């Protein structure tokens, strides 16, 4: 992939860092972005990967128009071969107990910022008739997420956007792939205030495995990838289970106080 250029958002930790690591090893030139200054440490790690091309880092709040514009500007008009729209935030606890500012941040990051970025870069890809987009959705998008309501709804949006955009681009050389992980061992649950929940405290998938599955699916131009057998079964069952029953089941893993002791 030498000479190809990839942008990975949310690349400072977790799934995004692993996606960026794979891109580095594959020889992509990389532009990585995240909200905090840790993105510069992540970029340094990525530069140490064997085979890596140039690695640039940008600290930008991708929940904002200015942040997305800054990321797009940092590409300096280069052809973007791969966009991995991965940055995202979770948020636990009952909907009415959540702070509005945090709800807003989830929506602005997972929905508004991601959509704006995909729209901007997607247009460039369409006009060049070339590109690959990997959107990190989630199996959470299939399940009404009691005690994680806004987050699951945001992932439902992203899953849906991904399939729709893919269909619209069917006759082009631009592919859109939705990466749908299940619970994965990252900083996500601590940041979402979910360490007092069942899902926050049980064993989770390895982010490197999740990223590898996502990368491979994207390179093959597949529509989606649900990572791991358990999650594949869970998403298949979710497709045929009434929403009310799914919301009830979700309470058992996401309600505060359900943590494994
Ligand atoms: N972990 C799971 O169980 C799981 C399951 C399914 C899907 N996902 C999805 O996977 C993606 C990555 O999450 P993760 O599990 O790897 O969690 P993570 O370790 O918390 O990583 C989240 C990344 O997104 C960045 N980010 C968040 N808000 C941002 C903003 N406003 N602007 C710029 N960057 C921002 C973070 O950077 P800063 O630290 O700088 O804010 C970080 O790099 C998310 O979209 C998440 O919804 C996760």
Q: What's the per-residue H, E or C state across 60-110?
A: CCCCCHHHHHHHHHHCCCCCCCEEEECCCCCCCCCHHHCCHHHHHHHHHHH
Using CA atoms, how far apart are residues 181 and 55, in angstroms rounded to an integer? 26
Give the residue, by CA position, lying nearest to ligand 1 atom 17: 188
Task: Give pTM, 2 decimals.
Answer: 0.97
Residue 1: predicted pLDDT: 73
Residue 52: predicted pLDDT: 72
Specify whether the CB–CB gap between 150 and 107 falls below 8 A: yes
Those residues with Cβ within 8 angstroms of residue 230's Cβ, 6 or more apart along the chain or in another chain: 182
Q: Nearest Cα to 135, choosing from 103, 164, 100?
A: 164
Residue 123: predicted pLDDT: 98
Using CA atoms, how far apart are residues 246 and 217, in angstroms rounded to an integer? 27
Q: What are phi and psi of 248, to 5 degrees?
A: -65, -45
Low-confidence ranges of the chain (pLDDT < 50): none
C-alpha 141: how far from chain center: 12
Q: What are phi and psi of 68, to 5 degrees?
A: -65, -40
What's the CA-to-centroid distance between 230 and ligand 1, angstroms? 22
- For ligand 1, mutation pick of 7, 87, 230 (most atoms within 8 Å of CB): 87
- For ligand 1, mutation pick of 85, 88, 195 (most atoms within 8 Å of CB): 88
Residue 2: predicted pLDDT: 73
- For ligand 1, mutation pick of 21, 34, 68 (most atoms within 8 Å of CB): 34
Give the residue, by CA position, lying nearest to ligand 1 atom 46: 88
What's the CA-to-centroid distance between 89 and ligand 1, angstroms? 5
The pocket around ligand 1, CB under 6 angstroms, is made up of 10-16, 34-36, 38, 61-63, 86-89, 109, 136, 138, 181, 183-184, 186-188, 191
pLDDT in tens, 21-68: 999 999 999 999 999 999 999 999 999 987 778 999 999 999 999 999
- Relative to the CA of 12, which ligand 1 atom is closest? 43
Active site residues: 151
């Amino acid at each position: 992939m030498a000479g190809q250029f990839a942008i990975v958002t949310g690349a400072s930790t977790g799934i995004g860092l692993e996606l960026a690591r794979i891109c580095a090893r594959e020889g992509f030139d990389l532009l990585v972005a995240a909200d905090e200054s840790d993105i510069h440490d992540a970029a340094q790690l990525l530069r140490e990967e064997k085979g890596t091309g140039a690695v640039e880092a940008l600290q930008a709040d991708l929940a904002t128009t200015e942040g997305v514009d800054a990321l797009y500007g940092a590409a300096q008009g280069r052809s973007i071969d791969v966009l991995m729209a991965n940055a995202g935030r979770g948020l636990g606890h009952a909907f009415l107990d959540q702070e509005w500012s945090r709800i807003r941040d989830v929506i602005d990051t997972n929905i508004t910022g991601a959509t704006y970025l995909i729209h901007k870069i997607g247009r460039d890809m369409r006009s060049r008739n070339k590109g690959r987009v990997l959107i990190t959705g989630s199996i959470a998008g299939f399940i009404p997420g009691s005690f994680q309501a806004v987050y699951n709804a945001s992932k439902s949006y992203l899953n849906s956007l991904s399939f729709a955009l893919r269909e619209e681009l069917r006759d082009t050389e631009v592919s859109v792939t939705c990466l749908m992980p299940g619970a994965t061992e990252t900083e996500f649950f601590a940041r979402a205030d979910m360490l007092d929940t069942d899902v926050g405290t049980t064993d989770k998938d390895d982010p490197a495995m999740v990223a590898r599955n996502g990368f491979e699916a994207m390179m093959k131009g597949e529509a989606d990838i649900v990572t791991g057998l358990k999650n594949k079964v869970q998403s298949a069952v979710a497709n045929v289970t009434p929403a009310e029953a799914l919301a009830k089941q979700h309470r058992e893993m996401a309600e505060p106080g359900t943590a494994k002791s």
